[in-house]
Structures are given as structure tokens and as C-alpha cells.
Structure 1
Amino acid sequence: MLTPTQSEKLPVSVYTDSEQASAAVARQIADLIRQRAAEGRNCVLGLATGSSPTRVYEELVRLHREEGLSFRNVVSFNLDEYYPMAPDSLQSYVRFMHEYLFDHVDIRPENVHIPDGTVPQEQVADYCRRYEEQIREAGGIELQLLGIGRTGHIGFNEPGSGASSRTRIITLDHITRTDAASDFYGEENVPRRALTMGVGSILEAKKIVLLAWGEGKAAVVKRMVEGEPTDTVPATYLQRHPAVQVVLDDAAGAELTQRKTPWLAGLPSNWQDEATVRKAVTWLARNLQKPILKLTDNEYNENGLSDLLAESGPAYSINIRVFNQLQHTITGWPGGKPNADDTYRPERAEPFPKRVLIFSPHPDDDVISMGGTLLRLVDQGHEVHVAYQTSGNIAVFDDEAIRFAEFVADYDEAFRLSGEQPAENLYHRVADFLKNKAPGQVDSDEVQQIKGLIRRGEAKSACRLAGVPDANAHFMDLPFYETGRVRKKPLGEEDIQLTMDLLNRIQPHQIYAAGDLSDPHGTHRVCLSAIMQAVQRLKAANTAWLQNCWVWLYRGAWQEWDIDQIEMAVPISPEELTRKRRAIFKHQSQKDRPLFPGADQREFWQRAEERNRTTAKIYDQLGLPEYEGIEAFVRWQY
């Protein structure tokens, strides 16, 4: 629980990661269920969908299976449903709830209530009124679980929803539909309307628990917790409820005042901690738009940093310390510079050359996120391996699959192959399936395989351009991903074992992994967990090679590390930025218009270059050397 200050208008609990947070919330729900069962009463729960509560549901299922938690006394009411939406559709919240929770516990079917996306239009108003009557007849919701959208919506209460709004049909905001596009294989397939409990309906719950994970939610969480109540951010109306708990992971809470700038919240700061000092000084310099070495005593005093100045001043001494720290993050030798004093370098000089293993969640994350560094590592003579953790097959347009199947068929015809011409049959099967494919339908195994091969070929081509041999490109096809759907399976033992096997085979001196949590599909988060669990198991087994291995985390196309977090900054020259762009262009199936672009509609190469140039610009503005671009990394101390 954060220390309450004047900044927060809601109680906030911040956990190290979403797994710990979800387990704590699941335990709270379980305790309530057991308490009501002991009293001979039903436990009425309000449930949410989306990525935020999935781990809570998984933990509740575990508690049911392993600790005997019964759901026989549970009555549930879900927040919302797309409209129109058949209950058996892949994207329906009926299906979601059954897949993640109801099919795995002993809840009575008659106690499950989810808005019906098949109600005729003329009956919707009456249906919504009846839904609220059912909640009242059940005794009201005791604990309401919520997530929060980027627009600040709770349920599907989009901006403009008032504090007294009730269960109703609503038109979805463009941003909400964009965020949902990946679930529907394109924004054009996302329903434009939904049924949702209103803000007023939600506020009638006895207790509310709101979940938010990842740095992508940090900005809207800050508005919800610290802003004034307004219908432009409906979640701010939670401030009017007497029993709300906001549960975050570190990343989602990063923008809160007492986490980002605790000195402004009146909280004591540990000025003996160099990371805290660096955060404060870089914040001050950026806030004043001044180079670090030009900050003055008065500017420290006038911006809430008088305690730092009194303890460690004068300003110039503090400035020099932080400036040197930032300067020491910059290196043109990401694998370490041989025969050089590495005292102030982010990487070791020895051994040289190093074996380097770059994990790429999707087949293009390596070149998008750290393509310049990859090129530098190869050019400087290191043995570079790239491990593509998933096939990425769901991110390929159908017409690409038809085009490649057609190529194989035409090739057969051109060379007059004897026999049945199986490739031509393949083309007809693929074309017929895709011609009759319904929006959101799972691809056939054959189509999934073709799409996976398309992305594999693109990844190989990018590796060749970077100078990585074909034998050093490893395609892991982790099982958790291979569902053919946006919704994946939980990380499993086989995923972790495959990761351990690859690590043991290569025995790298350096590992690079995607450390961001903002990937809209959640794949990056799962892939990172597989790596971390594999490394921790190898460490527990006293694996010898791991003692000389460092792990560096990069971020993907969605967001960059904050300047005070960066521990290795690799400058990218104009020529290297051009080479990086060419490597990204090798991923032609993602070119022009990615199937799942997320909230940012620009192409991946545009996002990557803008991010690299922005990081370089920040270093420049702080008084460090000026570069064309910079790729940033944080070391994971396992």
C-alpha cells in the first residue's frame, strides 16, 4: 500500500509484478467466498474481462483445484459484452469467462450472469433494466473487479459517461475499438456497440478492486488516482466510492507522483541512493529544459529538492555526479571493448568475442527494438544468435498466405512436376478456406503453418542482412502461443524447458530480452517470464556458464526506458539507422500496415526511428554528446 499523501485520491497498492498482485487479489476474493459460505450466504461478485483479471482467474482456479475453494455459493455478474455478439463467438465475454474461470470451477450455471449480446435491439432497454433488478435481487454486488481502458473507461463506460449512468447499450470509442482490434483480427471486425453496467451501477458495489498492469496504463492510472472527477475519464468517479482498492504492478504505478517524484508529494527520499538522486536530477533538468551541468542551487530549492541540496550539495557537485553516471552509460561497444579499461563501461571487456543470444518474442522484435545494437555486435566480431520465441503467425494477413500458396502452385506448373501436383491442391485448399473464413475465425492448421513460414523466412532474411548465419537463427515456436488465436495459453512447463535447453546449448555470455509490458497482446510479458524462470532455475542448479552471463533488457515498439533507468545506451549512426530500417523492411508481411498495430498506427520502422532519435535528443538536451539515435538497455540482476 502506498503511503497516503495529498496527491492520491484513491488508496493504491503497488506490487513488484502482476503475478504477485493477482495472487493477492485472488486470495482476497477466496477469503470472501469462504466467509460467506461459513455464514450460509451467497457471495455476489462483479467480474471483468480483458487481460488484467486473467491471472486472478487462473489463481482462483488453482485455489479451487488444490485448496478446495468451492464456488457453489458464488453468484456472478459480468460488467459488459459486445453488441451484437453470439455467446459462442471467439471474442465473446461469455466464452472468455468460461475459458478462464467457469469451466474449471464448480459454480452453478444458474448463478452466472453475463450481458446477452443477442438480445433484439427493441428489447435492449428492458433487458438492461432487468439485469439491474437481478443484481438487486441477489443482494447487490459485494466485490466488483474492474480493469481500466486507455480512455479511462471502466466496463464499457466511455468518456462522457456520467456518474449516475446505468446499465445500457453504448457506442464504443475509436480508441477502445483500436485496442480491441487484435482480438478481432482487424478494427473493421470490432463491433461498434456494447452492453455495459453503468458507472452508477458499478458504484453501488460494496467494494471495488481495480487492476492495471504495464507501463501502457501508467498515464491513465495517474489521471484516475490524482485527477479531478470528470466524465472525460469515467474511472475518476471511483473517488466517490468509500471502499475502492487500486492494485497496480510497478510499471502501471510509475507515473504516480509519489513514485515518479516523491519529493513533490512531501515524502522523505533516500538521497544516499544513487538511483533516486539520478531520477531527481534528470527530472529537474528535463522539467527546466536545461543541461544538467547548468542547474543551480536556486533551481534545486525552488523545485522541491532542497533536502537533496542540503544533504549532498552544492548543486554543481550533484550535477557532476549525475552527469558522469549518464556519460558512463554510453558505449559504442555493447559487447564490451577488448583490451580496454572497463571500470566505467556498462559491459565487461572480457571475454571477447562473446556469445550473444538475442531473444525476440515475435519474428521482428529483434531488429525493431535493438537492430542497431544487433548490427554493432555482429560488426564487432561477436558470435550472435537470435531466438525467435513465437511464430508470429496470427499477425499475417490472409492474402499473404494465399499469395505464397499460389507461388508454390505456379512453381509446380511452370516446371510441369509429375503426379498429382500436391502444391496446386494446397493452393485450392488454402484459397477455399480463406474465401469462406468468417471474421475472427481461427485459421486451419495448414494456413497457420504457411503464415508461420512467411514470418520465418522474413526473419532469416533480416538475419542475413545483419550478418547472422542461418544456423544462428533459432525458431522456438513456444507452445503457449500456438493457439491460432490472439488469446494464448498460460505459460507452461514445456515453454520454460525449451528456453532452458536453448540456453544450455548456446551458453551465452550476454542475453538480450524484451523487457516491456506494453505489448497489447501480452506476448512480450509471457516471453519474458519464460526467460526469467529459465534463468532462475539454471541459477538454482548452479549452472557454471551462467556465472559469467549478463542479461540486458530492451523495450519493444511500444515504449522506451525512462532516462533515469537506462544502464547501457548504444549510439546509432545515420548509416546504422538506415541499415536497421532495411532489416525491418525484410519483414514485408508487417510492412505498410501491420495486422495488429496497437494504439500507434505508424509503421514499426517509423516508431523505432522516432524512439531512437528521441532518446538521443534527451541525452543531448541533458548536455551529453549528440547522436543520430540511441538504443537503450537495462540490466537484469538475476
Structure 2
Amino acid sequence: MSQQTVSPQTILMQASNNGKGTNGTIGQPITYEKIPTQIFADSKEASYAVAKEIADLIRQKQKEGKPCVLGLATGSSPKTVYALLVKMHREEGLSFKNVISFNLDEYYQMEPDSIYSYHRFMKEQLFDHVDIAKENYFLPDGTVPSALLRDYCTSYENKINAVGGLDFQLLGIGGNGHIGFNEPGSLINSRTRLITLDHSTRVAAGMEFGGLHNVPRKAITLGVAPILNARRIVLLAWGERKASVIRGAVEGPVTELNPASYLQAHPDVSFVLDESAASELTRIKTPWAVDSVIWDNKMIKKAVTHLSKILNKPILKLTDKDYNDNGMSDLLAQYGAGYEININVFNQLQHTITGWPGGKPNADDTYRPERAQPTKKRVLIFSPHPDDDIISMGGTFQRLVDQGHEVHVAYQTSGNIAVADDEALRFIDFVVDFNKGFSIDSPSANQLFLDAKEFLKHTKDSEIDTPEIRKVKGLLRRGEAKATCRFVGIPTSQAHFLDMPFYETGTVQKKPIGEEDIKIIENLIEEIKPHQIYAAGDFADPHGTHKVCWDAIEAALHRSKHKNFMKDCWVWLYRGAWAEWDIYEIEMAVPMSPDQVLKKRQGIFKHQSQKDGVVFQGEDSREFWQRAEERNRGTAHLYDSLGLAEYEAMEAFVRWKF
């Protein structure tokens, strides 16, 4: 199917946001999208819309005296939906007594009470908090003997059919396009079955399992055919990491290489996305190519940098013909010659580059990203984990210190779950031997470490670390963070270890932020009264540590914004080792020389527990210093390719405003 072909499955989408798309497009029908797609400002707003639809369906079925049959998904994407349904149950009286639910999948082999099982996930996220009858929710059994699996899978589908089929199926999407665990290669007529998980799926799950080696190789999944039999389907996707596969499913051909594309054939399906997950869709990435747009400054900057990149031409070499040939003739008509537009955008990019992230003293700061005054600033860097500061903005961190600013670092969480057991054992052995070697008699400390060592010797993968183990692992990471601070040149008295309570569960699953978390941040801001705040701006996972840490910072900032010192406080957001801001978004770019790149690498090396086999490696097998260097060099190369000065590397920031 050609992308331009209008088929019976092609949906002419109306831009959202009261007639305007999220990037300023004027509401006109477009034909690129073959699946109805709703784009929300963030995952919370999107999750509320989905939770409300599910609640309305449950209530409607109750009025009709009928059961409501739901197909449910696991993973990070639906968590907020489930939390909102629980809230509706508690506060609005939403009853689940008429609900019958079937989950999509389960790992194999997997005990239902394992901390990694989807049985446990669903009970903790939803079932234990609402009035659904235990006999009314069903999940694939990850303990069925292999000889009985075929019959078991058939019976699972038969149970769905026996209650009239699925009224509503909730889906997430894997980075390779899988729905349920229907991996690439799954056929449209595939049934419920045991499947071997794709390597990329296992790598993505490595964080939840504490490493790839713990992730099962197989799973039971509802097939594509029974998923498509649901009367209504809603697929959720959050974050830029899902953007590419979403575009393929929504705008590309129907193909077994992207199983989510099969949903193009469904008569009642919606993709519900946040802006980041929608960022590769044509109407978002290049809205001028599908519709009239409002050519404000941000849109012009986005369009011109995009044009420069796709044509592989520096901005100042773009011609009127380039604009006309690429759907930007109305920009020319509105603003005149292309060269004038080129100069304007070039100057904007030039003004983002500064070697003085704290502002250059006694200099004209009209076109600089930061203020010249005060010449010595109090700076507060928030680091969600004990190494995000050096990995994400180590060059800028060093510049701020070298240029005489008072720099504080707030390590928001202990980072203890990211320490491998053998690293903890090595640390315990050192402490015990150290005490013996120096005849230090500290019975309580020795016993703590010995108890921890004994637990680690016999622990099972499904067991949560004890408080003592978490303490040991947290101390290990705290020591590494202090070493980095000494290396950069700030006293350890300016390293603040907040140990925010939301994090201390011992598992990847965290508690929601609470009043205590926010108060810790608020008190520190009040204590330091910073002129600059730096914070992590990675929001791909709405339940990830970075996003939760930012939610606490944002709440504290809003509480403090009325205070006098906040009038002089600017907030800058950095990205992590996986992705960078789009070039048109960057408001401050701090260049690094080859020597500064090497020094940043050495600072990252202080975090020995995060080298040579990281617990949460993610989908990228490289070490953090390698990821960071490639990202920083990529940013510098992008500036160079657009016709600006050539640097070895760059760290980029976006300013956050109230």
C-alpha cells in the first residue's frame, strides 16, 4: 500500500487542539495516517482520556445488565490508566463487579508470585485495589507444562469466546512493533501460542529483570487474530523511543515486520500518543508538507534546520528553489527571499553556542543564552541517579566549576538497584577485611555487612534486596558520586544526597512521588537559593526515575516561584546518554575541546559499579561514556553540518520556564 493511497482503512485525521495540531497546523484533513491517531500534550492527559473511555464502557454495560469484557496489557504504558481507574473506583464509585478481563501475555516459565510476573503486576496495579471478582480475571499461565501448552492456548481463546469476545482491547507497542508478544514475523492470522522473544524485546525488558541474563526467552501471547477480533482497540505509546515504530505502523505498509501495522485493518482502533511518541508522524515532523502552518519563529527554525539536514547543505547555502521544492513556498511568500530566512535562523543557532554556561562576566549578554550577572552564580545540578550529572552534562559541570561558580549537586536517589550483587559483595569483603586489618571493632557495622553478604550468597532472582543490601549498594554509589565531585573540583559538602523515598522499594517499580519527596526538593532549593538549576529532561518513560524526579522538582518550583530569590533563578534541562534535544529546540550549546571530552570520560570512570556489565544496560550495549561521547560529538557535528563552527563535542540544554 502506497503511503499516498487512500484505502478503506485510511482515516482522514482532523488535527487536534481546537482545530490546530500540536505544532501549529491549521485543522485540515490529512491522508498520511491510516490509523486514527490522537495526540496529547503528555501521557497523563492521554491516560485520563483512555481511563475515562474504559470507565464509560463499564458503566454502559452495567446499565445494560451485561458483562464488560476487557483485554488488558502490561508494561509501563498502561500504568497511569490503571491508577486512574483505581482512583475512579475509590472516589467515584466505579464498580468492576461486571468486568471480565483477559491479559495479553505472560513470560514462560514464570511463577505467578514472582516479582517479574504479569500476574503480580496486574494485582499490584489494578486487581487488588478494585472490586473485580477473582474468578473474573484471567492471565496466561506461565507454569503450564510444555506438553500441554497447545491445548492450554486454545482453551484460553475459548474462554474469551465463551463470554462473547473482547469489548475493548488495551495495547502497548514494543520498540520493534510487537503487540502482545507477537514479535516481527507474526502472521495476521496467528493464534494464541508460545513464542520465542526477539532479542530486542529481551534487552528492553532487561531493566525490569535486573539484567538481560534474567529475562526469559519465551512467553505465551494472545495471537494477532484474537486481538483483531476485539470490538474496540486502543494502543498507547509514550516517548520518543517509540516514535519511529509508531510512524511505521500508522503511515507505512501493512507488514509482518511491524505487527502493529495489522491494526490498520481494524474498523474501530485508535492510537493514543503523547507528543514525543508522535514526533515522527508526518503531520508533526514536517507539518508544512501536509497542510498550511502558522510560521512562527519556532516553526521556521524547525523547517529550515530540517531542510538543511535532508539536503545536506549548510543553512546559508539554501536557495529559494530548495524552499519551493520542499513544500515551503508559502514561507517564502510570507517572509521574502530565502537568504533572509537563512541569515535569521543561522544567527539564532549561533547565539545558542557559549563556552560560558554561567554567563560571561562583563560581556554584552543580549545574544547570549545566559546572563552576565551575577558574575558568580549559585548553581544547583539535580542528578536523578548518582552519575547523571557527569554523564549528561559533565563538560558543563566542569566549566561552571572552573569559571568560579558555586556549584552544588543534588543526587536525588540512591541508585542502589543498579548495582550488581557481585559488586556489592566485593565492597562488603573490603569493609570486613578493612575492619579486621585495622583492628576496628564495630560489631553493628560488621554484622550489617555480614548479614548482607549471607543474603547475597543465597538470594534468588525473584527476591527483593533487603534494606541492608540496599544500604550497602547505596553507600557504594554514594562513594562514587563523591569521587566525581572531588575530580571535578567541588567539596563533598556541596554534594547533597537526598535519598528520595519514592525510589526505595528495592525493585524497578517505584512508588508515586509524595509530599515528603517534594518537600526534600523544596527545602534544598530554599537553602541554596540558586541562580541556575539544571535538571534531567528525559521524559520518555512517564514512570521512569528521570521523569518522576522531574515531577518532584517541578512541583517544588511551583511552590517556590513566589519567593524573591526565584525571580533570578533560571532552569535548564539536559538530556541523558540516549538522546539529545532536536536542533531547533536547543537554547544553550556548550562546546567541549578534545581534552575536555577526555576529562569528562575520566569523571564517568569514577562510577566503577556502572562499568563493564551494567545492570540496566537498556537496548544499547555500549558503556555510558561511549554513549555520551557519541551523543555529544553528534550534536557538534550537526552544528557543523548546518554551517556553524566545528567543535569536538557539545552538550545541549533547553530552558524551562514557569
Which of 519, 523, 542 matches 1:501?
523
8 Å contact from structure 1 (residues 412, 423) kept in 2: no
Whole-Å separation in 2 of the counterparts to 1:127 and 1:336: 66
Map 1:257-406 to 2 at 5 A: 257-265=282-290, 267-271=291-295, 273-406=296-429
What is the aligned counterpart of 1:152 among 150, 153, 177?
Answer: 177
**What is the identity, as a one-letter code, of the residue corresponding to 1:28?**
E
* Conservation of the 8 A alpha-carbon contact between 2:449 and 2:472: no
CA contact (8 A) 1:25 1:56 kept: yes
Partner of 2:510 in structure 1? 488
Q: How many residues align?
A: 633
> Quick one: distance in 1 between partners of 2:559 and 2:236?
29
The AA in structure 2 aligned to 1:34 is R
In the alignment, the residues of structure 1 paired with residue 447 and residue 299 of structure 2 have an alpha-carbon distance, to the nearest angstrom, of: 64
Q: Deviations over 1:67-94 (max 9, x none)?
A: 1111111111100000111100000000
Shift of 1:533: 1.6
- Give me the whole-angstrom Cα distance separating, in 2, the residues matched to 1:57 and 1:47: 10
Could you tell me which residue of structure 2 aligns to residue 212 of structure 1? 237
In the TM superposition, 1:476-555 aligns within 5 A as 476-518=498-540, 522-539=544-561, 542-555=562-575
1-structure distance, mates of 2:541, 2:54: 28
Q: Give, in whole Å, the separation in 1 of the partners of 2:85 and 2:381.
A: 35
SS of corresponding position for 1:205: coil
2:452 is aligned to: 430
1:635 aligns with 2:658: no
> Aligned-pair distance for 1:226?
0.8
Residue 530 (structure 1) shift: 1.1
Shift of 1:424: 4.7
Amino acid at match of 1:339: N
Q: CA deviation at 1:433?
A: 1.0
TM-score normalized with structure 1 length: 0.97
Equivalent of 1:178, from 203, 206, 231? 203
Tell whether the 8 Å contact from 2:186 to 2:256 is kept in structure 1 after alignment.
Answer: yes
Is the Cα contact below 8 Å between 2:578 and 2:631 reproduced in 1? no
Letter in 1 for 2:508: V
**Could you say what secondary structure the match of 1:341 adopts?**
coil
Per-residue deviation, 1:421: 4.9
Report SS of the residue matched to 1:508: coil
Q: Which residue of 1 aligns with 2:24?
A: none
Which 5+ residue runs of structure 1 have no aligned equivalent?
none
Letter in 1 for 2:452: V
Is 2:27 the counterpart of 1:5? no
Query: What is residue 637 of structure 2 aligned with on the other side?
Result: 617
Cα shift at 1:327? 0.4
- 1:269-288 Cα distance to aligned partner (Å, 9 max, x none): 111x1000000000000001
Report the residue type matching 2:273 in the other structure. L
Instruction: Please provide the CA RMSD for this pair.
Output: 1.3
Paired with 1:430 and 1:622, the residues of 2 have a C-alpha distance of 55
Question: Quick check: 1:449 aligned with 2:471?
Answer: yes
In structure 2, the partner of 1:472 is 494
CA contact (8 A) 1:370 1:631 kept: yes
**Aligned-partner residue type, residue 290 of structure 1:** K
Matched, 1:93 2:118: yes
Asked if 2 retains the 8 angstrom alpha-carbon contact of 1:2 and 1:13, the reply is: no
The C-alpha deviation readout for 1:12-33, integer Å capped at 9, x for no partner, is 1111111111111111111111
Contact kept in structure 1, 2:211 and 2:615, CA below 8 Å: yes
Whichever residue aligns with residue 509 of structure 1, its letter is H
CA distance in 2, matches of 1:312, 1:520: 39
Report the AA paired with residue 432 of structure 2. Answer: A
CA distance in 2 between partners of 1:421 and 1:98 (Å):
41
Name 1:45's counterpart in structure 2. 70
- Letter in structure 2 aligned against 1:239: Q
Structure 2 unaligned spans of 5+: 1-12, 16-28
How big is the shift at 1:428?
3.4
For 1:78, which of 103, 112, 115 is the aligned residue? 103
What is the alpha-carbon distance in structure 2 between the residues aligned to residue 246 and residue 322 of structure 1?
34
Superposed CA offset, 1:295-330 (max 9, x none): 011111111111111211211101000000100111
Distance 1:519 1:353 in 2: 36
The answer as to whether partners of 1:486 and 1:521 remain within 8 angstroms in 2 is: no
Q: TM-score, normalised by structure 2?
A: 0.95
Query: Partner of 1:376: helix, strand, or coil?
Result: helix
1:3-152 equivalent positions in 2, closer than 5 A: 3=15, 4-152=29-177
Once the two structures are superposed, what CA deviation does each residue of 1:25-63 show, in whole Å capped at 9, x if it has no partner?
111111111111111111111100000000011111111
| Rounded Cα–Cα distance in structure 2 between residues aligned with 1:573 and 1:350 | 26
Residue 606 of structure 2 corresponds to residue 581 of structure 1 = no
SS at match of 2:503: coil
1:600 aligns with 2:623: no
1:319-378 Cα offsets, whole Å, 9 max, x none, are: 000000100111111111122111111111112211111111110000000000000011
Task: Kindly state the Cα deviation for residue 519 of structure 1 after the two structures are TM-superposed.
Answer: 6.0
**Distance (whole Å) between structure 2 residues aligned to residue 340 and residue 417 of structure 1:** 56
Task: List per-residue Cα deviations over 1:378-423 (Å, max 9, x = no partner).
Answer: 11111111111110001011111111111111112212345x8555
Deviations 1:444-466 (A, max 9, x none): 11111000000000001101111
The alpha carbon displacement at 1:427 in A equals: 4.3
